Structures are given as C-alpha cells and as structure tokens.
C-alpha cells in the first residue's frame, strides 16, 4: 500500500474547532481545510465573521472553504461575495440546491465567472456533477464536493460514481473533485486510486493516519491488550460459585 507521502490526492481537514485546525495546520500532509454551519454549531461558534477572521489569521496560506447559510439565492449571493473578500485562498461553499430543491446552477455560474472561487457542496448524483461542471467551465478555480460517504450510507458503492465524476471533471481543468464525508481512513486510498483530486475528512478520521502501514500482527495484539485492560478496569469477574 502507498505511504502518505506517495498520495496524489490532497487531504483537507473538515472541522470548525480552532485548536484542532491549528494542530492539523502544523501537519504538512494537510493541504487545506473545509468548514460548514453544522460543524460550526457543534464547535460552539456564535459569530461567523469573527470565527472566520481568526481562522484566516492563523491559517493564511492554504485553501479553506466557508459556506453561505441563506436559503434565498439573492441573499446567498450577497453572502458569497462578502465571504470571497476575506482572503486570497478562500473558497465559498454553495449548496447545489436550496431547501426547496431549486438548483443553484445559475448562481454558481455567475459567481464563478465573476472570479469567486466556489466549492459546490452537498452533491450526490452525476447529473449534479455535470451541471456544476458546465456552470463553472471557464470560470475561477472551483471545487466540486460529492458526498461519497453519504452515498455509501444508502447502501450504494460510491467508487463507481466517484470514478465517473473524475472523468466528467476533465472537461474543466480548474475544477477539482472533492470526495466528501468519508466514513473511514480507507476512503483516502480509494480516492487516490481513482484519481480524485481532494478528500476532506473530519479530525476523528485524520487521527487514524498514524495507523497507516501498521503491522496487522501488532494491531491484533494491541486489540487483545485493550480488551484485557478494559475488562480488568471494569472489575469483571466470573468467580467459581460454590454449590455446597
């Protein structure tokens, strides 16, 4: 199997906890960052602008995506244009539709061709991929985020879909495909095998990077030791019960 240094797929960290982001920023294999309103809420972020400015002051030189949060396209556009001014490496996450299923393709085209770096998010179908690639073609550099992990949650194998998405993106060299919402570390190597440009993973998954290449014999022994120590710490006992 490949070492981390041999991967061509770029690893982005997905999160909104500043200390954790800074720790990952110190890791050279983390090439960028993504956030979203759900992660910000879980991290206790209350002021969007303040949080973004703190992050960008601490991480000024790697791509980072911040998401709009309106459901109306006019206001979505206003937010996107402001967010785009926050930094040279900022990408603006635009959902592929609003909550009423109205597609955001016109907005994506307008922003991209006005120089806004968009990260089109929450995508799960090849039709969406084709429409978005058409919208950003000839525009600014962009990301196309397909939620492969959520596709897998439905019982579907995401690898064939993601492989086809890689092919579709060849029509626009300035657009990069993101394997979003991975569920396990293996997904990083699956993304690399099909030529996906980027994978974005939560901090919990990224913590497992230390296991890459670990001896399975040693990992088996570590697991046995874990079960033993946990049983001992819990004070479990099956002492012989006297029948006298």
Convert the pLDDT of each residue in 119-160 to its tens digit: 999 999 999 999 999 999 999 999 999 999 999 999 999 999
pLDDT score at 244: 63
Residue 93 known to be catalytic: yes
* Cβ contact 191:165 at 8 Å: no
| Domains, the chain, ordered by start | 7-212 (3.20.20.70)
Q: Got the DSSP string for 146-214? A: E-HHHHHHTT--HHHHHHHHHHHGGG-TTEEEEE-S--STHHHHHHHHTT-SEEEEEHHHHGGGGGTT-
**Secondary element (H or E) of residue 145:** strand 142-146
pLDDT digits (tens, 9 = 90+) for 214-237: 999 999 999 999 999 999 999 999
* Cβ contact 105:144 at 8 Å: no
Catalytic residue, candidates 10, 93, 137, 208 = 93
pLDDT score at 137: 98
CB crowding 75-84: b at 16 or more within 10 Å, else e:
ebbebbeebb
Cα–Cα–Cα angle for 178, 69, 174, rounded to 5 degrees: 30
| pTM listed for this prediction | 0.94
pLDDT digits (tens, 9 = 90+) for 197-206: 999 999 999 9
The tokens for 94 are 């635009």
pLDDT score at 239: 87
């Amino acid at each position: 199997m490949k070492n981390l240094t041999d991967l061509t797929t770029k690893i982005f960290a997905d999160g909104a906890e500043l200390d954790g982001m800074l720790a990952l920023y110190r890791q050279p294999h983390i090439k960028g960052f993504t956030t979203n309103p759900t992660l910000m809420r879980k991290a206790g972020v209350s002021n969007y602008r303040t949080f973004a400015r703190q992050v960008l002051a601490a991480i000024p030189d790697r791509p980072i995506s911040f998401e709009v949060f309106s459901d109306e396209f006019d206001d979505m556009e206003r937010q996107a244009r402001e967010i785009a001014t926050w930094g040279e490496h900022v990408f603006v996450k635009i959902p592929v539709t609003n909550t009423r299923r109205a597609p955001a393709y016109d907005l994506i085209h307008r922003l991209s061709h006005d120089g806004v770096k968009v990260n089109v998010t929450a995508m799960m179908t090849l039709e969406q991929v084709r429409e978005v690639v058409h919208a950003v073609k000839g525009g600014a550099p962009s990301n196309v985020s397909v939620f492969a992990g959520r596709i897998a949650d439905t019982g579907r194998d995401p690898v064939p879909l993601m492989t086809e998405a890689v092919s579709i993106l060849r029509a626009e060299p300035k657009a990069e495909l993101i394997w979003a919402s991975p569920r396990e570390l293996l997904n990083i190597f699956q993304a690399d095998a099909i030529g996906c440009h980027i994978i974005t993973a939560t901090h919990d998954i990224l913590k497992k990077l230390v296991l890459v290449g670990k001896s399975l014999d040693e990992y088996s022994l570590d697991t046995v030791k874990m079960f033993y120590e946990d049983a001992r710490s819990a004070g479990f006992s099956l002492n012989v019960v006297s029948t006298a």
